Amino acid sequence: MMKVNESEMTPSRIEGVMGVALAHDVVQEEVTAGVRIVMANSDVPKRPHVHSERQVIYVISGNGKITDGRETFDLKPGDFILLDANEEHYVMTENEGLKLFEVKYP
């Protein structure tokens, strides 16, 4: 068993077209799990962005949008987003930041 607090972690930075997201990954193996804090007025990550893993995103707090280039969804606390492998996607915020929990898996 192990306990890790987000405040004790050094996040990596995910630069965007505009703004930045901070990534607090607690597991980085075949499965990656962690928290993303997308700062206000951000459009992240830089384009193009795809990865070979499937992904589940859960919105903890804040509001924003996610797009795959074909459709765009508003994001609010309690929302889940399910992404297929190699599906292009981007998160956008305006005046408010967004806190997400995400899991990438095969």
User: Which CATH number do you get for residue 88?
Assistant: 2.60.120.10
Mean pLDDT of 49-77: 96
Give the separation between CA 68 and CA 94, rounded to whole angstroms.
18
3 falls within a domain: no
On the question of pLDDT at 2 being above 90, the answer is no
d(CA 81, CA 93): 16
- Other beta carbons within 10 angstroms of residue 53's beta carbon come to 16
Domain region containing 50: 43-106
Domain count, the chain: 1
CB of 91 closer than 8 Å to CB of 42 = yes
Sign of CA dihedral 94, 99, 103, 104: positive
Establish whether the linkage from the previous residue to 77 is cis, with ω within 30° of 0: no
The pLDDT score that the predictor gives to residue 21 is 98
pLDDT 10s digits, 44-59: 999 999 999 999 999 9
Q: Is residue 57 part of a domain?
A: yes
**Cβ atoms of 72 and 1 closer than 8 Å:** no
What pTM, to 2 d.p., does this model score?
Answer: 0.93
Residue showing tokens 């949008």 = 65
